[in-house]
Amino acid sequence: MSVIFGLAAAVAVVAALGVVVAQRTLYSALALVANMVALAVLFLTLDAQFLAAVQIIVYAGAVMVLFVFIIALLSPGAQERLHPLEARVLIGGLAAVAFTVVVARLTLNGVSVAASGRFYGRLGPFAPVLVDRHGQVQTLGEQLFTTFLLPFELSSLLLLVAAVGAVYLSRRRRAS
Amino acid sequence: MGQAAVSVVTLAVVRAPVSLPLTLVVALVKGVLVVFALATAAAYLTLLERKIAARIQLRIGPNRVGPGGLLQPAADGVKLIFKEKAAPAGRDRVLFQIAPALAAGAALFAFATIPINRTICVGGHGGAGPLSVSCAGGYLLHWDLANVNIGLLYILAVTSMGVYAIFLGGWSSNSKYSLLGALRSSAQLISYEMAVSFAIVGPILLAGTLNLEQMVHQQQGLWFIFLQPLGFLLYFTAAFAETNRLPFDLPEAEGELGAGYHTEFAGMRFGLFFFAEYINMVTVCSIATVLFLGGWLAPVWFLPSWLGPIWFVAKAGLLLFVMMWVRWTFPRLRYDRLMQFGWKVLLPLGLANIVVTAVFVAVR
Amino acid sequence: MFRELLGGLRATARAMASRPITIQYPEEQRPVPPRARGRHILHRYDNGLEKCIGCELCAGACPVGCIYVQAAANDPAHPVSPGERYAVRYEINLMRCIYCGYCTEACPTEAITMGPRLDLVDYKRERLIATKDDLLEAWSGFTTMSQGVAPGLGRPASQPTPMGAGSPHSGPAGRAPGLRPVIPAASGDPADTPPA
């Protein structure tokens, strides 16, 4: 329903603005959490329930919790107010606009609308009818382990590298 | 009311509704009932806790207020409302206000997808097969607030948001004890979330679905606790840590840390945190009932059809009793040992459980 | 490890199954020991005369100074106590009293002793100042006297007092709710006869 889409999108945009504009760093992080929750609602409107749940569990519920931890522990000072005509504000604004254009172009190009009004991506063998037939989680799981096996393994390797790096960097150094 | 909103969003967006106004009304009524029931349950759980504690300590619990002490929770509530709302001077005002409400809200929200009875076709002839309930000419009454296919994931998502409430509550109090308690509590919660997730993968593999109602239907022959005893133990143990209950309650240990993250909250603000903790207990025991003890199913030789919710309440109540019994029996785990236990014992055991269950399911 | 855990649970389960050891005051009360130092009692001889001769030794002995005695001369026609003086006013501030028993040790006639009544609470401070009326035990022989009650000879046993007299013969209408404490029966003590 477009009402729900409108609400969720509005919250997402306001929260995103809040991330940039908020005076205290912790409020910035919390605004980002609100943004992610709004995105999860948007995923719901697109029938991607699993993705919505995982978005909240992983992003809003784990990654952002650690962000909030670090901010609260290290307590960086409050941000100075940004004057609207400062150089970095202008450059940042331009970059945001450019990014929006690029993303819009990519999504609009890559997405087709079937006669029934549903969207699907360009990647071929996957089709929404699979979701209706088998269920979301099952379809996602199947695709991950068959069509997209290589990217899946590579991303898990990437995560492993990150974890190993973190452990290595935080090891206790012997007194020399 | 948020739960009603969740159910309306999912029902209205994800499926074509029977009729939106009817859905709305049913959702609202269910929401009110669930909130009311959970609030009453949380209040009387405090009384039950005190009575059980008393009996274990060879004394009688509260028995003066109302017959047998039954009005004690009301007296406690009134006392909390009338207390002076002292708050530290340097607190972050916005977050200090929000944190208790967020805690209670997340706790209430999490109960939305737990079914206490099987779906019933109201007025109209329905096929009442376990996997597809159709209802021609009538209304399909689900006994959970929102019957979503990712029910279990939804609960995990909401409980992971509950971590914020604790952390922000402790941080916004501008006090050392609160911050320490909040940090410990949040770290404990996110660690044991992993243990919980691993423990519940077992029943998910056995049932083949994340929908809680389907999961209960799959237990019609044999409850999952008999197929997954280790899984049940892991889940129940991790549940103690998730709800900050002894023996994992160092974050709010009365002797050690003042009262941890809710030290500086007075009156009803503290009441809301307390309320949230007990509702979390109810939710966690309900999930254990649904996943391992067969939900609303009766032990084989009884008729379950209309007695469903009573069986559910009885089983969840039994688990709650065990939680309280354990609390007044065991000493508290020191914090570093708590974390070690979560990461080095529960997690590997959970992984082993998953592997064995997966092999069993694949070979079956 | 599991054996210890289950053993702990079994211990608490056994405690849950056993009777609580709580004594539910005030419906149930423990018996008061015979030498317990509770609220004071002013005694009488068996013929009705008060034992207190108004010597004020108890007030002097009291470490806190919570006893007030006002003595007066006995009217020879209607004596209150055997002796020259008697106590017209005798008040003890029960809030200040430390219940040490020194007054009992100081009294030459064993007039003041400490009784078994321990539940001395009230909402008003004034009512916790025990006067002679409250402290003086009732006289069981009152009903046999026909006329001419001497001042201080007190009330019949059945008449209630504000603080509740300490004698087992006094009625149940003390202000404190609940049961009276269990008090041993009146003694046939030769000390309870007045000196000649």
- For chain C, domain boundaries: 35-160
Cβ separation B59–C21 shorter than 8 A: yes
Regarding beta strands B133-136 and B125-128, do their DSSP bridges make them parallel or antiparallel, or are they unpaired? antiparallel
Q: Contact at 8 Å (CB) between B239 and B284?
A: yes
> What pLDDT band is residue B18 in, cutting at 50, 70 and 90?
low
The closest alpha carbon to A27, from C71, C193, C40, B93, belongs to B93
pLDDT for the residue numbered C174: 38
**Does A68 touch chain B if contact means CB atoms closer than 8 Å?**
yes
Q: Which residues of C touch B52 (CB under 8 A)?
A: 16
Q: Are residues A92 and A29 in the same domain?
A: no
**Stretch C75-92: mean pLDDT:** 86
Round to whole Å and give the CA distance between B214 and B133.
11
Query: Does the pLDDT value for residue C176 go beyond 80?
Result: no
Round to whole Å and give the CA distance between B226 and B229.
6
pLDDT for the residue numbered C190: 64
pLDDT for the residue numbered C64: 94
pLDDT for the residue numbered C83: 85
Q: Are residues A88 and A61 in the same domain?
A: no
Q: Are residues A102 and A136 in the same domain?
A: no
Q: Are residues A14 and A58 in the same domain?
A: yes
**pLDDT higher at B265 or C185:** B265
Q: Which residues of C touch B60 (CB under 8 A)?
A: 20, 22, 24
pLDDT for the residue numbered C148: 45
Q: Which residues of B touch C22 (CB under 8 A)?
A: 58-60
Give the whole-number percent of chain B exceeding pLDDT 70. 86
B-facing residues of C in 10-49 (CB < 8 A) are 11-13, 15-16, 18, 20-22, 24
Round to whole Å and give the CA distance between C53 and A154.
106
Q: Are residues A41 and A28 in the same domain?
A: yes
> Quick one: which H or E segment has residue B147?
none
Neighbours of chain B (3+ CB pairs under 8 A): A, C
**Stretch C61-74: mean pLDDT:** 92
Q: Tally the domains of chain A.
A: 3
ipTM more than 0.90?
Answer: no
> Quick one: which H or E segment has residue C89?
strand C85-93
Q: Are residues A32 and A10 in the same domain?
A: yes
What is the rounded average pLDDT for all residues in chain A?
79
In this complex, which of B56, B59, B326 lies closest to C22 when CB atoms are compared?
Answer: B59
Please state the φ and ψ torsions of residue A118, each to the nearest 5 degrees: -95, 155
Cβ separation B149–A49 shorter than 8 A: yes
CA distances for B155 relative to B121, B162, B216, angstroms: 26, 11, 16
Segment B63-89, tens digit of pLDDT: 888 888 899 999 999 999 898 888 888
Cβ separation B57–C15 shorter than 8 A: yes
Q: Which residues of A touch B209 (CB under 8 A)?
A: 135
Segment B83-132, tens digit of pLDDT: 888 888 888 888 888 899 999 999 999 998 998 887 777 766 665 555 55
Return the biggest CA–CA distance within chain C. Answer: 88
CB neighbour list of residue C106: distance below 8 Å, 6 or more residues apart: C57, C58, C60, C61
Q: Are residues A129 and A94 in the same domain?
A: no
Q: Which residues of A touch B160 (CB under 8 A)?
A: 56-57, 60-62, 65
pLDDT for the residue numbered A46: 84
In this complex, which of B13, B158, B161 lies closest to A44 when CB atoms are compared?
Answer: B13
- Specify the residue for token string 């991303």: A155
Q: Are residues A16 and A72 in the same domain?
A: yes
Q: Which residues of B touch A60 (CB under 8 A)?
A: 157, 160-161
Q: Which residues of C touch B63 (CB under 8 A)?
A: 24
Cβ separation C9–B56 shorter than 8 A: no
| Exposure string for B138-165, b = 16+ CB within 10 A, e = fewer | ebebbbbbbbbbbbbbbbbbbbbbbbbb
Give the whole-number percent of chain A exceeding pLDDT 70. 74
CA–CA min distance B262, chain C (Å): 29
CATH number of C35-160: 3.30.70.3270
Q: How many residues does chain B have?
A: 364
Q: Which of A23, A57, A80 is the last residue of a domain?
A: A80
The closest alpha carbon to C116, from C166, C178, C158, belongs to C166
In this complex, which of A50, A61, A69 lies closest to B161 when CB atoms are compared?
Answer: A61
> What pLDDT band is residue C60 in, cutting at 50, 70 and 90?
very high
**Does A47 touch chain B if contact means CB atoms closer than 8 Å?**
yes
Mutate to test the interface with A, among B150, B184, B192, B200 (most CBs of A within 10 A): B150
C-facing residues of B in 307-346 (CB < 8 A) are 325-326, 328-330
Touching, B vs A (3+ Cβ pairs under 8 A): yes
- For chain B, domain boundaries: 2-363
Q: Are residues A28 and A48 in the same domain?
A: yes
Neighbours of chain A (3+ CB pairs under 8 A): B
Query: Does the pLDDT value for residue B284 go beyond 90?
Result: yes
pLDDT for the residue numbered B229: 93
pTM for this entry: 0.78
**Does B57 touch chain C if contact means CB atoms closer than 8 Å?**
yes
Q: Contact at 8 Å (CB) between B18 and B34?
A: no
Regarding beta strands C129-130 and C85-93, do their DSSP bridges make them parallel or antiparallel, or are they unpaired? antiparallel
> What pLDDT band is residue B332 in, cutting at 50, 70 and 90?
confident
Write out the residue range of the structural domain in which residue A57 sits: 1-80
Round to whole Å and give the CA distance between B105 and B38.
12
